[in-house]
Amino acid sequence: DATTLSETEEVLQDNFDSTVFVWSKQKGISPIAVKYAKGVYLYDYDDKRYIDFSSGLMNVNIGHGNQRITEAVVRQMQEVSYVTPYCVTKVRGELGKKLAEICPGDLNKAYFTLCGATSNEAAIKMARSYTGRHKILSRYQSYHGATYGALSVGGDPRKLPDDSQQAPNFVHFDIPYPYRWNHDRESMLSDSIAQLERIIGYEGPGNIAAIMLEGESGTSGCLQYPEGYLKAVRDICDKYGILLIMDEVLSGFGRTGKWFGFENHGIVPDMVTMAKGITSGYLPFGCLMVTDKIAAHYNDRILATGMTYNAHPVSCAAALENIKIYEDENLLENAAQMGQYVTEQAELMKQKHPSIGDFRTTGLLGCFEIVKNRTTKEPMAPFNATPDQMAVMAKVGAKIKELGMYTFVRWSYVFVAPPLCVTKEQIDEGLAIISEALKIADEYVIE
Ligand code: PLP
């Protein structure tokens, strides 16, 4: 009888009865029913407050409920809500110009999409048609989206339960991550680069259109590149005429303390894909940024791609206002500073919690890595864990939620990626919750 349900229960019931959930078994999940959100906080229908330590899906970079975006969106809708991609609007041109301004090098031409996956699909298509080559190389431990090509280019084990859904001509390689490298640091870089070059040789350099990498590793566990790695990859790409595509969907727009993650590595790619932080999630949107040279290739050739909602004016308006907010509120600087602060605090937490193996962050793209033993570094849950192997981390995740935090707890990682407007006090509040929940993990540490 619906009349006996609370508002929260009613919302949940309708959703369970009539909607389907992503990336999960449909039974046994317990989503937060969000009524409203402001800054770094979400509120449910019972007015319980959750601090959002993953910025939604690492996309709500400016924080929730910013009225400037609402107003920009309404203004645009009052003028014109939709034009076909064959028409143009003022806001589309202005946004293209603004993105060219914040992108380094000759990355001056914007192809506007709907989300991260559609940006990556466009990059894959364009890299193939531009080079006349068919293979795309990428990292095993990476995620690039859920559509056919984007899923195939990713190496995230979420795709393994449905392994038949993969397109051909995607080749994966491994990149060591420093925390788990037991040999000397120099060999980490030289061995991994030599391995990549061997793989390119096996696959035939003349068959490889592009290497696609995340600007900074995200949901695979913030697996930072060995120092000098991206520079070496840039050199290899130049040597073989392979395009370098940086996926900045998650690491872009201030998340790492710079506009783009690759800027921490002193390289300029040939293509950049964007989404998430481009609108801070206020509307679905994405972009593929290419160099003048790549764009000019299509001056006299057809660019054989397009969608009904390319360059949607309302999303363009949200993006343009959102980029101004990053600038007006100095959010890149704040991300860099708060990243420093989290690192210092995490160091103190390590002394209290034997289950913390590592904490790593670039700006506010960070996570704790939880281990059973600090010497062996055995993770609390392995990559590609079964539900049984996730039992301890699931308890940690449930505790975090109970204590009033929303964040990503995945395999052995607890993510720390709050909105870039976060304050020290809010970081303290969030870390105190994680600290309390990690007492559970500490009990499973094997001495
Ligand atoms: N690329 C990266 C690095 C991501 O983290 C994601 C999403 O998490 C995507 C692409 C896919 O973006 P979307 O979900 O908007 O398609």
Specify the residue for token string 């054989």.
304
Domain-ending residue, one of 328, 359, 389: 328
Domain-ending residue, one of 328, 353, 374: 328
Nearest-angstrom CA–CA distance, 152 and 209:
15
Based on the fold, state whether residues 292 and 360 are members of the same structural domain: no
Q: Is the pTM of this model over 0.95?
A: yes
Give me 336's structure tokens.
């860099």
Question: Three-class SS of residue 47?
Answer: coil
Q: Is the CB of 415 under 6 A from ligand 1?
A: no
Based on the fold, state whether residues 265 and 386 are members of the same structural domain: no
185 in a structural domain: yes
ipTM value for the complex? 0.99
- Ligand 1 centroid to Cα of residue 155, in Å, is 13
- Ligand 1 centroid to Cα of residue 275, in Å, is 7
Number of continuous H segments (helices) and E segments (strands) in the chain: 13, 15
Based on the fold, state whether residues 9 and 110 are members of the same structural domain: no
Q: What is the DSSP string of 165-203?
A: ---SSEEEE----GGG--S-HHHHHHHHHHHHHHHHHHH
Average pLDDT over the chain reads 96
Domain count, the chain: 2
Residue 247 lies in domain: 67-328
Based on the fold, state whether residues 55 and 84 are members of the same structural domain: no
Based on the fold, state whether residues 53 and 93 are members of the same structural domain: no
The DSSP call for residue 381 is S
Q: Is the CB of 275 under 6 A from ligand 1?
A: yes
Question: Three-class SS of residue 105?
Answer: coil
Q: What letters, b where the CB count within 10 A reaches 16 and e where it falls short, cover 41-68?
A: bbbbbeeeebbbbbbbebbbbbbbebeb
With contact defined as beta carbons under 8 Å apart, do 192 and 176 qualify? yes
447 in a structural domain: no
Based on the fold, state whether residues 323 and 334 are members of the same structural domain: no
pLDDT tens digits, 413-426:
999 999 999 999 99
- Ligand 1 centroid to Cα of residue 298, in Å, is 27
Per-residue pLDDT of the chain (447 residues; tens, 9 = 90+): 556 888 899 999 999 999 999 988 899 888 999 999 999 999 999 999 999 999 999 999 999 999 999 999 999 999 999 999 999 999 999 999 999 999 999 999 999 999 999 999 999 999 999 999 999 999 999 999 999 999 999 998 888 888 888 899 999 999 988 899 888 888 999 999 999 999 999 999 999 999 999 999 999 999 999 999 999 999 999 999 999 999 999 999 999 999 999 999 999 999 999 999 999 999 999 999 999 999 999 999 999 999 999 999 999 999 999 999 999 999 999 999 999 999 999 999 999 999 999 999 999 999 999 999 999 999 999 887 888 899 999 999 999 999 999 999 999 999 999 999 999 999 999 999 999 999 999 999 998
Closest atom of ligand 1 relative to the 248 alpha carbon: 3
Specify the residue for token string 């619906």.
2
Q: Is the CB of 151 under 6 A from ligand 1?
A: no
Domain-ending residue, one of 328, 345, 380: 328
Q: Which of 249, 307, 365, 367 to mutate to test the pocket of ligand 1 (most atoms within 8 A of CB)?
A: 249
